[in-house]
Amino acid sequence: MSFHMKNAYARRGLQAAFVSLFALLASAAHADWGGLNMTEGVSILSKEIYALHMKIFYYCVAIGVVVFGVMIYSLIKFRKSQGAQADTTLVHSTKVEIIWTVIPILILVAMAIPTARSLIKIEDMGNVALNIKVTGYQWKWEYEYLNENVRFFSTLKRDSNHARQLGSGIDPATVPHYLLDVDNALVIPAGTKIRFLLTAQDVIHAWWVPAFGMKKDAIPGYVNEIWVQVDADKVGTYRGQCAELCGQDHGFMPIVVEVKSPADYDKWLRAKQEEQKVAGEVSPTAAVNTAVASAAPAAVQQ
Amino acid sequence: MAHEHTADAHDTHAAHDDHDDHDHGPAHGWRRWVYATNHKDIGTMYLIFACVMFFVGGFMAMIIRAELFQPGLQLVEPQFFNSMTTMHALVMIFGAVMPAWTGLANWMIPMQVGAPDMALPRLNNFSFWILPFAFTLLLSTLFVPGGSPAGGWTLYPPLSLQGGSGFPMAIFAIHLMGASSILGSINVVVTIMNMRAPGVGLLNMPLFCWSWLITAYLLIATMPVLAGAVTMLLTDHFFATSFFSASGGGDPVMFQHIFWFFGHPEVYILILPAFGIISEIVPTFSRKPLFGYDAMVYATAAIAFLSFIVWAHHMFTVGMPLAGQLFFTLSTMLISIPTGVKVFNWTATMWKGSLSFEPPMLFALAFLFLFTIGGFSGLMLAIVPADFQYHDTYFVVAHFHYVLVPGAVFAIMAGTYYWLPKWSGKMYDMKLATWHFWLSAIFVNVLFFPQHFLGLAGMPRRIPDYSVQFADWNMVSSIGAFGFGLSQLLFPWIIWKCVKSGSPATSHVWEGSHGLEWELSSPPPYHSWTEHPSREIIARGVQH
């Protein structure tokens, strides 16, 4: 066997190994990380926040490697059982105290600058194309498309609600999107900057869709605001939950958002407007009627 | 040893000190405990109380983790689940960790500063005996109409105002706990300020005393704030005020500001004494003095100061002005500087030491590693934009359990294993204690590490049921919880066995022990230092 042939084999073997390694890494990046790490999400802010999260995480990992490295080295190297003698003169050094104060300050500055930059972006509520008012109730959400004459309630879907009762005997795994499905999903257009105005009627709730990156409290007497712009190509369904303890059914008021293309969204909005107009013609107090119609029968507010 | 002769010396003071007939030894029977004025007896009662509450709170945690073992509701109704999370927190914070610190302070501070007892023995008795009543009241809310508080230990209105008969009972219980803490803290401050023996200066007393002195000031400063906040809740509920009701012109967010103005110093109340204990144990088992004593003292004071100006980082999602968010994110990040200084100094203490790994050291080392992990997640939580994702998820649950369980609780266990031979005069079963350590250290990570994943993947905290994508890690976490809970049964067993049938301990107990408490016999005399420690003892015993 010639040297060249051997080399070629080796090269091909190496190539195969690399390809499969990359495939493994790629699949790990797509599949396995999913359950372990924060989602990168589909909005401008969620990606910004994800990048910041990873940056701080890597800073922490780097600091951890150094600090834990020194600790582990000491644990191995300076064992009495290995005959280590204590150097009792080593009790103070102003120089090292200054070093390990100043270096962390520099790291913090490196963290603080991108933090401030992201925060300014998050707080920029200018140029919104659509305003949606979100009201939290025990235990459902109400969505109102401001100036569009559309409002409706959104509650946990019936099959999840049956399955989640104590001793229901229904296996949650058999329920599609267990606890994360609603009767009326919020619908928004992709590629559009949308402002959500958050408030509540009874106690404090928090509106959170992880894929959008933002979470904010819905507080009685307050109107909080966040903005979301989903990437134009990220049409789909995104799910979240109430994130502030709001009583016994806090775990059972999910959020479902269907992101449609602007054209599909317009179609949906017109259909919804028609539907609500019809409901409105039956009774002059349209808003109240809609609320009562779409709320579960038991949902009488105090 | 010297103190065997000191009983005579004490007689000269007895005339004006007190007129207690049981001056030189404990009373017999129940009177010893009910009328207790001795710092060791009261310390023991505090520690036993804390241990009982640790298991009560732990049992609640087992109920929580059992319900979360798999998706769907199998065991308890959601309202009861919320009661469990709320009561678990109140019992663990106010019933287990804080009384454990006060118990350790009672036992150790007089011995460490060369004093015969705490400065205010009857106040000491009162501050302890408030606690059983406070917790009887709090725990009895489980049996009243409407159940116990279920709005979270943070008691946020308007939700907390929806509580039943348990609501005013819990508030009165919190008032009692606060009063107990304030009285205990006054005692610590007065003891450290006035009872130090000549030669024990502020800057050479043990760091446990320093960290407790600072903790005591935090308690005195913040407990009245909590009392004020819960009193306003009470009047909102019963006397038609509207401090926190938007419909009456009040502000529900104001409660959160007031609560966390207490709440953030409170988390340092839970951890600063741990810093003190670790600063005692690491040098002992490194056979080397603490590195950077002065820096450690200043770092502790800096943390205490900063703890008052970071409160709103618990509430980034309530909607704050940009400037407010920036201020609280920067001030919070600053806390990592003095905390880092402490971790680096502990590490430097081990550097070029001569390390051995007895149970107290094992717990202290686990503290160093795992508390630092809790510090990292804390730093991540300080970053406001990222906090918009982390807030109120299991990531936060993982974070604060990392600093409180392998942080505060491990330090309490480290301290107990460190000083138990001194207290009892007997050695405990080191092998069994090492088992206790390894089981605790492994299971605590199985329990809490996966909660980081759950939080990042989007699982909110305080929910009794979850969607199936979170099933795997919840099951792992619950297995860790059951393992951790069962392992803790070893702890009282080891202590019981030690007290009943341990072999006699020497006065110094550990090869590298260093400090005034080790100059006393094991067990120490009933009135620790009845005369000032001699100049030689001081020279041997003080820090530097």
Structure tokens at B340: 């880092």
- Whole-angstrom Cα distance, residue A231 to residue B538? 71
**Percentage of residues in chain A having pLDDT higher than 70:** 81
Closest residue in A to B355 (Cα–Cα): A79
Angle between helix axes B39-67 and B78-90 (nearest 10 degrees) is 150
Angle between helix axes B322-350 and A44-77 (nearest 10 degrees) is 10
Q: Residues with Cβ < 8 Å from A292, sequence gap 6 or more?
A: none
Structure tokens at A93: 């050094």
Residue B462, by phi and psi: left (phi above 0), alpha (psi -120 to 50) or beta? left
Contact of B223 with B178, CB cutoff 8 Å: yes
SS (H, E, C) A189-231: ECCCEEEEEEEECCCCEEEECHHHCCEEEECECCCEEEEEEEC
- Whole-angstrom Cα distance, residue B371 to residue B375? 6
Mean pLDDT by 10-residue block, N- to C-terminus, for chain B (544 residues)?
A: 42 44 71 93 97 97 96 95 96 97 97 95 96 97 93 94 93 97 97 94 93 97 97 95 93 96 96 97 95 95 96 95 95 95 96 96 97 96 95 96 96 97 96 97 97 95 94 95 97 96 94 92 92 88 66
What mean pLDDT is reported for chain A?
Answer: 85
Residue numbers in B near A118 (CB within 8 A): 385
pTM of the model: 0.90
CA distances to B103, B222, B387, B403 from B270, in Å: 13, 13, 23, 9
Q: Does B438 touch chain A (CB under 8 A)?
A: no
- Shortest CA gap A239–chain B (Å): 10
Q: Does B392 touch chain A (CB under 8 A)?
A: yes
Which residues in chain A (122-181) have CB-CB distances under 8 A to chain B? 122-123, 163-168, 170-173, 177-180
- Shortest CA gap B45–chain A (Å): 36
Angle between helix axes B207-238 and B293-306 (nearest 10 degrees) is 10
Residue-by-residue DSSP string for B294-327: HHHHHHHHHHHHHGGG-GGGGGGGG---HHHHHH
A 10 A CB-CB count for B70 gives 17
- Whole-angstrom Cα distance, residue A206 to residue A216? 5
Instruction: Identify which of B492, B495, B369, B376 has the alpha carbon closest to the alpha carbon of residue B441.
Output: B369
CA distances to A89, B22, B184, B406 from B31, in Å: 50, 11, 21, 37
The mean per-residue pLDDT over the stretch A232-261 comes to 96
Q: Does B156 touch chain A (CB under 8 A)?
A: yes
B181 catalytic? Reply is yes
Which of B339, B478, B522, B528 is catalytic? The answer is: B339
Encoded amino acid at A166, one letter: L
Q: Does B71 touch chain A (CB under 8 A)?
A: yes
Give CA angle at A176 (A174, A181), nearest 5°: 140
- Shortest CA gap A44–chain B (Å): 13
- pLDDT tens string A179-193: 999 999 999 999 999
Structure tokens at A74: 């000491």
Q: Does A112 touch chain B (CB under 8 A)?
A: yes
B257 catalytic? Reply is no
* pLDDT at residue number A300: 37
Closest residue in A to B319 (Cα–Cα): A224
Structure tokens at B437: 């350590």
pLDDT band at A10 (very low <50, low <70, confident <90, very high): low
Q: Residues with Cβ < 8 Å from A145, sequence gap 6 or more?
A: A130, A131, A132, A151, A269
What is the strand order of the sheet A130-137 is part of?
A: A150-154, A140-145, A130-137, A193-200, A224-229
Work out how many CB contacts closer than 8 A connect A with B: 280
Q: In B351-383, where does DSSP find H-type helix?
A: 359-382
Instruction: Identify which of B348, B331, B410, B350 has the alpha carbon closest to the alpha carbon of residue B374.
Output: B410
Give CA angle at B288 (B286, B293), nearest 5°: 115
* pLDDT at residue number A186: 97
* pLDDT at residue number B8: 42
CB contact under 8 A, A250 and B462: yes
Cβ-in-10-Å burial (0-12, 13-18, 19+) of B23 comes to middle
A 10 A CB-CB count for A223 gives 13
* pLDDT at residue number A1: 39
* ipTM for the complex shown: 0.89
* pLDDT at residue number A290: 45
Residue numbers in A near B290 (CB within 8 A): 91
Cβ-in-10-Å burial (0-12, 13-18, 19+) of B203 comes to exposed
CB contact under 8 A, A79 and B348: no
The H or E element containing residue B435 is helix B430-456
CB contact under 8 A, A78 and B151: no
* pLDDT at residue number A276: 87
Cβ-in-10-Å burial (0-12, 13-18, 19+) of B219 comes to buried
* pLDDT at residue number A108: 94
Q: Residue for token digits 């064992």?
A: A79
CA distances to A2, A3, A21, B24, B441 from A14, in Å: 18, 16, 10, 82, 42
- Whole-angstrom Cα distance, residue B216 to residue B269? 8
Angle between helix axes B430-456 and B359-382 (nearest 10 degrees) is 10
Structure tokens at B284: 């002992």
Q: In chain A, where does DSSP find H-type helix?
A: 3-30, 44-77, 94-122, 158-163, 262-282, 286-294
- Whole-angstrom Cα distance, residue B194 to residue B456? 50
* pLDDT at residue number A246: 96
Angle between helix axes B98-113 and B166-194 (nearest 10 degrees) is 10
Residue numbers in A near B460 (CB within 8 A): 208, 241-243, 251
CB contact under 8 A, B325 and A101: no
